[in-house]
Chain A
Amino acid sequence: MKIWSKRQKDVMILAVQGRLDAATAPLFEEQVLPMISAGDKNFLLDLAGLDYISSAALRRLLLFTKRAEDQGGRVVLLSVQSHILEILDMAGFTQLFDIFADQEEALRSF
């Protein structure tokens, strides 16, 4: 699992690549939660390179989103692959996130 970050105005774009499972989910948390403490609150998660997400990782994603929302921010998803979308949909999570296919459009939503 790798995360690339890039800031565009007041939105932090995070590209997540690889597998988010029980082993890598804690690393995800360690890398993204401090960004909220550091003052970021709007996030665009580019999941084009995400191969797999486990339920333990979903919990971390929720926690991350909750913390961002507590700060008055938002987490939106970009380029979610169909099999990841299926997992998100199964747990009813598609109703928790705005999901975009186009980065410009996603950025405009903030």
Chain B
Amino acid sequence: MGRFFSGGRDLGKGAFMEHRIFSMFVDLVQNLAVLLVMAYVTTRVPRFGNLLNRRFSLKSDLLLGLVFGLISIFGTLSAVKTSGVLANFRDLGPAIAGLLAGPVAGGIAGLIGGAHRYLLGGITGVPCSVATVLAGLICGGFYLWKRGRPIRIWEAAAMMAGVTALHGFVITPLVLGLSEEIRQILRTVMPPMLLVNCAGIALFFFILHNLNRERQNEAEKHRIDSELRIAREIQMGMLPVPSQIGDPRFAVHAVLKPAKEVGGDLYHCFIQNDAKICLAVGDVSGKGISASLHMAITQKLLKALAQSGEEPAELLERLNRELCDGNESMMFVTLLIAFIDLESGKTVFGNGGHNPPYRIRQGGVSRMVLEPGLALGIREKEVYTNQQLCLEAGDTIFLYTDGVTEAMNGRKELFGEKRLKAVLTRLQDQEPEAICRGVLEEIAHFVGQSEPSDDITMLALRLKKAGAAGPAEIR
């Protein structure tokens, strides 16, 4: 089996030899690339899981030992023969197995790779096979010493350099002596082997570390997503479901669609003393998590304060004082409150900087004219006024947030009041639920594939004509 080292005499000196070493290096890298692609593919197999920082069962040790033993054999078989001298990365497999899973896996991989090398014979057969087994065992020892802490990339490279040097500079001379022939072989083979082995193991661990980080990021993202989902459930749970109020005097429907998981829009709807229905729609500046915290505060305050029976303006003033308290970040809320007398249709509004509602009446849709008032949370002593308008039986009042009119399409155009008015006109004979659904559909059509730009809230209420009862009403 002299073929492994048969051509020692060809080795020249100087530039020629450097060229040999270089081409040997290039070929080794090519073979290594095959190995790394294999490694990459294996680490992508889900059941392989996280190879780093993990304890393995004996069965897994055996399996890893076998796999990396085969890789070790691949390292031998793919060895590059230049001038009859073989440079190889046989030690790489056992070293990786050792670093990943300890001396059992490393030792098994080493034994497989080493036995295979021993059977091939040649003058370096004995030292090479011994070195391969030792590489697995030593790296396995390092794994034990690390006590489960993940192996860093430079540590893996340093261990690989150590066992390769041990192979070339200690074991081989110990077994074979340091004849001129051996020196020649070592001089040719060691530089590319050291480089390729270290680069190979560094790359392998780089892949593992990357994969690990990716999985951690995924896990983190999953955790945040599930927390946001819970926050969304809590937020949605704070809102009343007006369509559940079964009252023959009116039909009411509300829609709230946050642009993100959670949002800053809010609404409220309740009946006071069986005589009035109170509607409120609000919008916290901004969107997302910060807005949602303020939304929750405002929603709860509104719900609590509204029980006092005060008029809308007084309610706004009390809410405003609470919201101004400690508001360093200048989060503000626009809020529109309407108390509608179910008998007379007399409606009292209090407006804290919110867009005025639309009134849908047979034969015409109009934006109600309300004084703006200042948004809440800005000036503590702000005074609001009660503004009175009258609704007639059959009228529908449509409250909304600017997420409706400022819904944006891909060309950065806004949905706008004009489009909203057109949809409302088209749907003027519909029930509140159908109106809300129709507007939502129109917005979705307008926005197309663009991300929602703001939270969307609509609250529509239709006063039924006296004597008419339930959905079976005939007009």
Contact = CB atoms under 8 A, between A and B. Distances in A.
Contacts of A66: 330
B61 interface: no
A interface, over-half SS: helix
B117 interface: no
Contacts of B331: 59
A101 interface: no
Nearest to B372: A92
B330 A89 contact: no
A59 B372 contact: no
Which of B283, B334, B355, B375 is most buried by chain A, counting CB atoms within 10 A of its CB? B375
A88 B219 CA distance: 43
A91 B353 contact: yes
Interface stretch (A2-10, A41-49, A50-58, A72-80): A50-58
A92 B330 contact: no
Contact residues of B: prevailing secondary structure: loop
Contacts of A90: 334, 353-355, 372
Contacts, number: 58
Contacts of B212: none
Contact of A92 (B375, B406, B453): B375
A55 B329 contact: no
A2 to B, nearest CB: 16
Question: Interface range on chain A: under 10, 10 to 19, 20 to 34, or 35 or more?
Answer: 20 to 34
Interface residues on B, range: 20 to 34
A63 B375 contact: no
B287 A22 contact: yes
A35 interface: no
Contacts of B91: none
Contacts of A22: 286-287, 453
Interface in A2-39: 19, 21-22
Given A90-B353, A92-B353, A95-B374, A54 B454 contact: yes
Interface of A: 19, 21-22, 52, 54-56, 58-60, 62-63, 66, 89-93, 95-96
Q: Which 3 A-B pairs have the closest CB atoms?
A: A92-B374, A91-B353, A56-B286
